[in-house]
Amino acid sequence: MTGIMRHVDTLIARYSVLAECRESIIDAYTIMETSYTNGGKLLIAGNGGSAADSEHMAGELMKRFRLPRPVPADFAARLIETDPTLGADLAGKLERGLTAIPLVAHEALSTAYINDVDGLGVFAQQVYGFGRKGDVFLGITTSGKSRNVILAAITARALGMKVVALTSNFTGGGIGDYTDAIVRVPATETYIIQELHLPIYHCWCQMLEDKFFGREAAE
């Protein structure tokens, strides 16, 4: 864990305004690390630019971020056994991932639920379908008050999941009432909030990759 903290130090050296968020960044990371260690997964949701961030973060976790992630030798052997040619090619190209599902990416499901049931419950429905006790829901909301994200957080808590939020220094209420860890970046303009969210979740991706595929994993 100590070695992983260097990523937080580097983040704050580059973005000094985030110094006040240091402990909450670490708290949120620890929740994600614990879930992945125990076989859990991460569900992510947000609106607008935060929807793009949800997909961006999932993409960084599901394949290499900076470090090589070769498949385990026993799985490579099974691929080759299944097909000596194609399996060998796959064994050299597949990368281990940390399971992350962006809830903004399922257009058929989302539009069907919006049309048939309720627009604001679309993330909650997916949390209920995908989520299991021990998983983590990450809600990204610049205002902290996005109702569809809050409904997903409530659903996650009811399932026994942990809830993390990436938001701003809004005043009271909102998603903070349902979180186990919340990172409030010190900004009020939406675009500036989003500019600060990105390096935070990149930091989390680096930390998780280091933990499960880097020096920490080798120790």
DSSP string, 119-179: STTHHHHHHHHH--TT-EEEEE-SSS--HHHHHHHHHHHHHT-EEEEEEE---SSGGGGG-
- Give CA separation, 145 vs 120, 139, 173, in Å: 12, 11, 8
Q: Is the pLDDT of residue 39 over 90?
A: yes
- HSE-CB for 136 with a 13 A CA cutoff: 29
The pLDDT, as a whole number, for residue 209 is 97
pTM (2 decimals)?
0.95
- C-alpha 214/C-alpha 163 separation (Å) is 26
pLDDT class of 216 with cuts at 50, 70, 90: low
The pLDDT, as a whole number, for residue 63 is 97
Q: What is the mean pLDDT of residues 168-173?
A: 78
The pLDDT, as a whole number, for residue 157 is 98
- Going from N- to C-terminal start, the domains of the chain cover 5-62+97-218, 68-96
Q: Render pLDDT for 45-104 as a digit per residue (tens, 0 to 9).
A: 999 999 999 999 999 999 999 999 999 999 999 999 999 999 999 999 999 999 999 999
Q: What is the mean pLDDT of residues 137-156?
A: 97
5-62+97-218 classified as CATH 3.40.190.10: no
Determine the 3-state secondary structure of 181 from DSSP.
Answer: strand
- List the Cα angle 22/69/199 in 5-degree steps: 25
pLDDT class of 173 with cuts at 50, 70, 90: confident
